[in-house]
Amino acid sequence: MPLNFGVAPDHPEVKNVINTFTKTAEHPRLRYFGNVSLGTDVSLKELRERYHAVLLTYGADQDRELELENEQQGNVISARKFVAWYNGLPGAENLNPDLNGRDVTIVGQGNVAVDVARMLLSPLDALRVTDTTEYALEALSRSQVERVHLVGRRGPLQAAFTIKELREMLKLPNVDTRWRTDDFSGVDSLVEKLQRPRKRLTELMLKSLKEQGRASGAAGSKQFLPIFLRAPKAINLGEMEFSVTKLQEDYAVATDNTERLPSDLILRSIGYKSSCVDSDINFDTRRGRVHNTEGRVLKDTEKIDPGLYVAGWLGTGPTGVILTTMSGAFAVAKSICDDIAANVLDTSCAKPGYDAADKRVVTWDGWKRIDQFESEAGKAKGKPREKIVSIQEMLKVAGV
Answer yes or no: is 16 a known binding residue.
no
Answer yes or no: is 38 a known binding residue.
yes
Q: How far apart are the first and last CA of the chain?
A: 17
User: What span, in angstroms and rounded, lies between the C-alpha atoms of 77 and 89?
Assistant: 16
Residue 238 CA to its chain's centroid (Å): 27
Answer yes or no: is 68 a known binding residue.
no
User: What span, in angstroms and rounded, lies between the C-alpha atoms of 322 and 310?
Assistant: 16
Answer yes or no: is 34 a known binding residue.
no
Answer yes or no: is 257 a known binding residue.
no
Contact 241, 258 (CB under 8 A): yes
Question: How many Cα neighbours within 13 Å face the side chain of 259?
Answer: 13
Answer yes or no: is 111 a known binding residue.
yes
Answer yes or no: is 36 a known binding residue.
no
Phi, psi angle pair for 188, to nearest 5°: -50, -45
Answer yes or no: is 153 a known binding residue.
yes
Q: Which residues pair with 225 in a beta bridge?
A: 149
Count Cβ atoms below 10 Å from residue 175 Cβ, excluding itself: 21
| Helix, strand, coil shares, percent, the chain, to 5 | 35, 20, 45
Q: What angle do CA 142, 146, 150 make, to 5 degrees?
A: 120
Q: Which of 115, 119, 149 lies closest to 133, judged by CA?
A: 119
Answer yes or no: is 321 a known binding residue.
yes
Contact 95, 77 (CB under 8 A): yes
User: What span, in angstroms and rounded, lies between the C-alpha atoms of 35 and 117?
Assistant: 32
Residue 326 CA to its chain's centroid (Å): 15
Answer yes or no: is 85 a known binding residue.
no
* Binding region for NADP(+): 109-112, 153-154, 165, 320
* Binding region for FAD: 38, 313, 320-322
* Binding region: 38, 109-112, 153-154, 165, 313, 320-322
